[in-house]
Structure 1
Amino acid sequence: MTQQPPPAGPADPPDGPAPPDLPDRVARTYGELDLSTVPAFAGGFINFGYWTGLPGPADRPLTEADRIRSEQDLYRLVLGAFDRPRGRTALDVGCGRGLGSALALREYGLGTVIGMDAHPDQIARAREANATLLAPGADATGRLEFLQGAAQRIPLPDGSIDCLFSVEAAQHFRDLPGFAREAARVLRPGGRLALTTFFARTRAAARVLPALLPPYADGLDVPHVVDEAAGALTAAGLREVRVRSIGDGVWEYYDRYMAQQPGLRDEWPRRYLTAYETGLLDYYVLTAGADRDARPAGDTP
């Protein structure tokens, strides 16, 4: 089975209308097809993983446990960008099944974590997957919640979030500047943003990628350019925007894992390593901060 569902074609339409703000291909991939069940995403976190913290010799065979650990470690890498997160309020944009939201709450001592996803099926899955944490009387009762919302229209008040994170979701955002403006709006003064996903390195690369990788051709992903993504955060008023490449801890290991799985070794997702090695795309962490002196909209001295 492929890492992602096979590209859609004229004879393969989605069943029913897409949820609001979602292109048909995105709606079907995260709805009916449920990408979290694809073997390449063992554990259900739905990301390529960050592999540098795995135990044992670097050249040993990679296991399913390693794959799950890599997906968790990508969240840990992003969450590590927040200084003293204990007791703070966090928003996970594009939370999927909410496993990363739960990890953030469990391991980083956040006061509240809000998982948000644009797809109603993903919100339903997140609530089901985290039912124990959400149950009345559980330690996380009232501290973990899931809501449906689009990245470019976050359904939260101004200045209500301390830590905003997003793990491998921004490649789906059709309106990155809109997301950046919303992130700046919901962050409290001094709040922080940390985002990770794969981006095209240049505009020329963005034009080439759809011919190499089906998700760009069929409308699942958008070949955003990394410098333009960083520029959108700056234009939205966020400060100290930083871009860090982490591809050396992502692509080769992920490809090795795929090569070691009989059902995955010949599939098209192995072209991501080709795209990385030929300079077309990379995996990045982007961080930024809200102005400490900023006031929420409508607030006057």
Structure 2
Amino acid sequence: MTDSAEQSGLATMRPMVREAYGPADLSGEPIFAGGFINFGYWRAIDLGLPLGEAERVRSQEDLYRHVLDAAGLRKEPTEPAESRESTEAKGPKVLEVGCGLGMGCAVTLREYGSAAVTGMDIHPQQLRRARDTHADLLRDEPERLRFVQGAAERMPCEDGEFDVIVSVEAAQHFPDLGAFAAETARVLRPGGRVAAASFFTVDDAPGRPEELARLLETFADGLDIAWPVNVLTEAFTASGLTDVRVESIGPHVWRGWDLWLGRWWSPETWPRNFLRAYEERVLDYYVVTAVRPE
């Protein structure tokens, strides 16, 4: 990565995103155990038992698994690297938009037999951390994993380059969902699928951003954007994608996330208001999928 490319990426980032994923390094916080940065998908975890780091990591991996399944990927038996005849023949090419430390990229390679995974992130510090974290894989199997700097609204990718695009808990940071959808449609091959998971407002009723800003600091300080989920679905449709579907997974996200947060924050503190926002039908967690027509 050149200095000019790095500076360009920094210039296009909103200030709170630059801070949270740069100097603040959310991936190093205990609430995001294992280097993942997502709220988790807790369906397979017994929330009646004490939650430890193993359960927390499982929840974050399971969110990726749910999204990868929604994108149409299928798990394959793992094989030793030396037994692979051709990575080109193994499976689809996958792009993760907003890859962070690349932990989801590693899950994809380990469990879904993908031919190649590209992790893209706008933040150069995150990319340096990702390359350090996965140095062995990058050295031993460079044809299967790469990390590139790019914005969701301006992807450094060829037309029709990918079979699958996934994005896990990043869209709440994207300043232009229309541009993200257009770029997604451009870099997907005909017949390719996208699955994007994040938290959105349940509708576009007036005052939703103000409601969330009162409840949650991340919306008040500008880290998260109060996008209605229909903005993304309409953007996908406007970009020519079809079979656009929305799945609420809130029942399997919010309670587990709130219980985990309870290890650090008491009920009256702002982080515990994520569950409140869900219960008051202001915010929910969705997986949005679509297909580029053949």
Structure 2 length normalisation: TM-score? 0.88
After TM superposition, which residue ranges in structure 1, 4 or more long, deviate above 4 angstroms?
none
Conserved 8 A contact 2:9-2:150: no
Which residue is 2:87 aligned to? none
The amino acid across from 1:177 in the alignment is: G
Gaps in structure 1 of 5+ consecutive residues? 1-15, 293-301
Secondary structure at the counterpart of residue 37 of structure 2? coil
Picking from 17, 20, 26, the partner of 1:26 is 17
2-side partners of 1:251 and 1:241: how far apart? 24
Deviation track 1:47-75 (CA, whole Å, cap 9, x = no partner) reads 00000112xx4411111110111001000
Which residue is 1:241 aligned to? 244
Which residue is 2:255 aligned to? 252
Which residue is 1:5 aligned to? none
Which residue is 1:63 aligned to? 52
Conserved 8 A contact 1:192-1:290: yes
2-side partners of 1:102 and 1:28: how far apart? 25
Secondary structure at the counterpart of residue 11 of structure 2? coil
Secondary structure at the counterpart of residue 242 of structure 1? strand
1-side partners of 2:156 and 2:116: how far apart? 16
| Distance apart, 1:265 and its partner CA | 3.6
The amino acid across from 2:123 in the alignment is: H
Which residue is 1:216 aligned to? 219
2-side partners of 1:26 and 1:84: how far apart? 30
2-side partners of 1:182 and 1:265: how far apart? 41
Conserved 8 A contact 2:248-2:286: yes
The amino acid across from 1:196 in the alignment is: A
The farther-off stretch of 206-215 and 182-191 is: 206-215
Picking from 101, 121, 125, the partner of 2:125 is 121
Secondary structure at the counterpart of residue 184 of structure 2? helix
Secondary structure at the counterpart of residue 234 of structure 2? helix
Number of residue pairs aligned between Structure 1 and Structure 2: 270
Deviation track 1:91-150 (CA, whole Å, cap 9, x = no partner) reads 000000001011111110000000000000011011011011111xx2x32110000000
2-side partners of 1:17 and 1:98: how far apart? 21
Which structure features the higher share of helix residues? 2
2-side partners of 1:133 and 1:251: how far apart? 33
Alignment of 1:288 with 2:290, yes or no, is yes
| Distance apart, 1:278 and its partner CA | 0.4
Alignment of 1:131 with 2:120, yes or no, is no
Secondary structure at the counterpart of residue 42 of structure 1? helix
1-side partners of 2:47 and 2:42: how far apart? 10
The amino acid across from 1:210 in the alignment is: A
Structure 1 length normalisation: TM-score? 0.86
Which residue is 2:160 aligned to? 159
Which residue is 1:297 aligned to? none
1-side partners of 2:187 and 2:222: how far apart? 28
The amino acid across from 2:286 in the alignment is: Y
Picking from 89, 93, 118, the partner of 1:89 is 93
Secondary structure at the counterpart of residue 195 of structure 1? strand
Which residue is 1:277 aligned to? 279
| Distance apart, 1:240 and its partner CA | 0.3
Conserved 8 A contact 2:161-2:189: yes
Which residue is 2:200 aligned to? 199
Taking a change above 3 Å as real, the CA distance of residues 17 and 219 of structure 1, as seen in their structure-2 partners, is farther
| Distance apart, 1:223 and its partner CA | 0.3
2-side partners of 1:111 and 1:151: how far apart? 22
Identity %: 50
Conserved 8 A contact 2:173-2:223: yes
1-side partners of 2:250 and 2:244: how far apart? 19
Taking a change above 3 Å as real, the CA distance of residues 18 and 166 of structure 1, as seen in their structure-2 partners, is closer
Conserved 8 A contact 1:17-1:24: no
Which residue is 2:82 aligned to? none
The amino acid across from 1:224 in the alignment is: W
Which residue is 1:42 aligned to? 33
